[in-house]
Amino acid sequence: MAQLELFSQPALRTRYRAGLCSTAALGLLLLWALTYLPPLLVAYRSQGLWLKQSTYMEQPTIQFQYEVLLVAMTGADPGSFLTWSTFPAFNRLQEDQLRVPLISTIEEDKNHDGKMDQLYLKLELPLQSTEHIFAVQLILTFSYQLHRMSTFVMQSMAFIQSSSPFPGSQLYVNGDLKLCQRQSLSHCGVDTRYNVSVINGTSPFASDYDLTKIIAAYQDRNVTTVLSDPNPVWLVGRAPDAPFVINATIRYPVEVISYPLEAL
| pLDDT tens digit sequence for 50-86 | 556 788 899 999 999 999 999 999 998 888 999 999 9
**pLDDT tens digits, one per residue of 185-208:** 887 889 899 999 999 999 999 999
Q: Are 104 and 113 in contact, with CB atoms under 8 Å apart?
A: no
Burial, 95: exposed, middle or buried (Cβ in 10 Å; 0-12, 13-18, 19+)?
Answer: exposed
Residue 49 has φ and ψ, to the nearest 5°, of -75, -20
pTM, 2 dp: 0.79
Helix residue ranges, H only, 47-134: 88-93
The pLDDT of residue 175: 97
pLDDT of residue 124: 98
Please report, in tens digits, the pLDDT of each residue of the chain (264 residues total).
444 444 445 554 555 455 545 676 676 777 666 666 666 555 555 455 555 678 889 999 999 999 999 999 999 888 899 999 999 999 999 989 999 999 999 999 999 999 999 999 999 999 999 999 999 999 999 999 999 888 999 999 999 999 999 999 999 999 999 999 998 888 788 989 999 999 999 999 999 999 999 999 999 999 999 999 999 999 999 999 999 999 999 999 999 988 887 544
User: From CA 161, how far away is CA 5, in angstroms rounded?
Assistant: 98
What residue segments make up the domains of the chain, in order of their start? 2-50, 56-260
Yes or no: say if 160 and 136 are a contact pair by the CB < 8 Å rule.
yes
**Predicted local distance difference test score (pLDDT) of residue 212:** 96
Supply the pLDDT for residue 102: 98
Return all residues near 94 (Cβ < 8 A) that are at least 6 apart.
83, 84
What ranges make up the beta strands (E) of the chain?
53-58, 61-73, 81-85, 102-108, 118-125, 133-146, 151-181, 190-191, 223-228, 233-236, 244-251, 255-260
CA-to-CA distance for 23 and 21, rounded, in angstroms?
5
